[in-house]
Amino acid sequence: METFEQVLQQAYNDGESDRFISRLRERFDFCQGISQQQRAQHLHYMLEAADAHYLPAQEIVGMVPTEAYMRHLGYQDLPRDEYIKKSRAFHRQKINHLKDAARRGSLKSLGHLAYLYKNQKIPDEKMSLALALAHLDAGLYFTDDNKIYEHFSRQKERLITQASASELAFAEEATQELIQAINQHGSIYPVMDEKHGRKGYY
């Protein structure tokens, strides 16, 4: 069975559109092939580890679709207002984990945040395009992987054509702030898997 990362990587390799990839993310049901109880237990463990600032767990939690989180923990039948409140709380939680991981050198989190900013999936951010550029630029600064560099570069080229002068200036400042934060932490976490050494970029 293909993993989410493999399906996503194939979509990038095939040159699929951003809209296609966005819909792919929303539809993909993580942790397929295991029971509801196992999924819920796994999520609880990952959330606890992420809350303890364990970076790999923060990366995992940050990639969990909010709809999947609600479904796997049995929240899909909550009253509407309660459902919205809980889903928004989880969305904020996973964004915070991604931000923390990115500032500590997670290339996967930098890339995924760029995707989320680009598609305006992070609430209350007025400079989403600029922040997407900043996270791509920080990833470009630190990565030594040619495929990741090429992918981030392509995404950056697309966004630059849409950015205003003020957004470009903001992006430059935000990039330097990210680079400084990562340098202070002193480590870079590449995009890895056990079999091939590399995984998808977002």
The residue behind tokens 């989180």 is 69
Q: Is the dihedral of CA 63, 121, 179, 156 positive or negative?
A: positive
* pLDDT of res. 18: 62
Q: Distance between CA 128 and CA 134 in Å, rounded?
A: 10
60 in Cβ contact with 44 (< 8 Å) = no
38 in Cβ contact with 80 (< 8 Å) = no
Indicate the pTM of the whole model: 0.78
CA angle 150, 153, 157 (to 5 degrees): 140
The amino acid at residue 39 is R
Residue 31 DSSP code: S
**Mind listing the pLDDT tens digit of every residue in the chain (202 residues)?**
345 566 666 666 555 556 566 656 655 544 455 677 777 888 888 899 999 999 999 999 998 888 888 988 889 899 999 999 999 999 999 999 999 999 999 999 999 999 999 988 887 778 999 999 999 999 999 999 898 899 999 999 999 999 999 999 999 999 999 999 999 987 888 875 433 333 433 3
Q: Where are the domains of the chain?
A: 4-185
* pLDDT of res. 3: 56
Q: Tell which residue, 16, 21, 15, 27, has the closest CA to residue 114.
A: 21
Length of the chain: 202
Helix (H, G, I), strand (E, B) or coil at 102: helix
* Tokens, residue 95: 């964004």
Cα distance between the two ends of the chain: 20
